[in-house]
Structure 1
Amino acid sequence: MNKIKFSKMHSLGNDFIVIYETQTVSEIFNFKESQIRRMADRKKGIGADQILLVKKLDNSEEKFQYKIFNADGGEVEQCGNGARCVKKFLFDKGFWTNNNLILVARENEFSVQSKNNEDFIVSLKVHGTQPDDVGLDSTISKKIGKGETPFL
């Protein structure tokens, strides 16, 4: 049976499995949805809200690739609590010891800052604040049925 090293981490009520992705790890664990679900399962696996993969980006001195998988196996774009754990993980393992870190998740690039690997600040991308930006109906309230009281 093949084995991979991982860390189990927690941040503000979320728990994560954090893995530093090497060539060997990629060969053993190909990160299929079924493998992610099995690993994240709280009764039959390790159990986690998300599985986080991190590795140094090729051709970059200061950026790390950051892959985020929900427990259902789907990959997502960003997770602030996970980014905090990744920063601490990289520092504790000696992969990155500077106070500022740049993570790249899919097309998103964001920074994680800390002082002495404590008190983390994560700068996430804001995707939009208008109803159309997030797929909401712009109607705030609408009268339904008879009467004068609007149903919100």
Structure 2
Amino acid sequence: MIKIQSELLEGDALRWAVMKAEGLELHPIFKEGQFSVWFTPDDGMPWGPSLTAYDTDWNQTGRLILKYKIGIGEVQIGVGTAKGDQWAAHPKRLNEPTNWSFAADPRVAVCKAVVIEVLGAMVEIPAFLAPGLQRPLRSV
């Protein structure tokens, strides 16, 4: 396991972190020369290898928006840490500072906002999921 800034998460590493934020029990395994992830859903029956596609499927992203009350919107170039055409997402907090997440895709920005809200600015992920070292896993 390695620690990485939540804002740098992408692909399977981001999906792993969102599933952890959702409270799923995840198990990285190495089998037959390949890394994989198995998880245990609410019914307690192990299932995998796959990671839920929160960052590409609006059905999954929409559920996160409602559950965590995430606000999203377009960001103009040069605002905050945004670079180019970006989307910003943030948890809705009354009278509290908020953490903004930026990404080229609004679904990715939402996922990052959820991870930062629940797990914090730094998260632990399996080293094989680190950005730049990723091997795609099957997504559902």
Normalising by structure 1, what TM-score? 0.26
Normalising by structure 2, what TM-score? 0.28
Which structure has the bigger radius of gyration?
1
In terms of fraction of residues, the more strand-rich structure is 1
